[in-house]
Structure 1
Amino acid sequence: MGDVVNLNRFRKTRERAEREKEAEANRARFGRTKAEKERDRKEAERRTQTLDGHRLDDET
């Protein structure tokens, strides 16, 4: 006869591993440092200012 296995413990261990796998994927997809977010925000602001600076006024 084999060892006694607690099925609830097995199920919880499996679900915990699945959640950790999903969390790892989310960290890779969404995880950015504050410096990276700030750099992207400044880059977007610079592009907007450059575009607005080259805009021609439509005064007739």
Structure 2
Amino acid sequence: MKLAITGSRSIQDCAQLLEELERLSITELIHGGAAGVDRLAAAWAISKAIKVTEIKPDYR
């Protein structure tokens, strides 16, 4: 499944996020590139050889 993830820039429970990601059958992780949840999830996906797509917000 493709998973789009967003979240806090100051995540408090990294272990819980990683446990939840492990439970899913993710084929692609999509995130916005922000510090915190986005980057943590992206690093996890890269370590698992899961495709990662970063879509930065357009604030115009």
Q: Is the pair's TM-score, using the shorter chain for normalization, greater than 0.5? A: no
Between Structure 1 and Structure 2, the one with more strand by share is 2
TM-score class, shorter: under 0.3
Task: Please report the TM-score for the alignment, with normalisation by the length of structure 2.
Answer: 0.26
Larger Rg: 1 or 2?
A: 1
Instruction: Indicate the structure whose relative CO is greater, using CA pairs within 8 Å and at least 6 residues apart.
Output: 2
Task: Please report the TM-score for the alignment, with normalisation by the length of structure 1.
Answer: 0.26
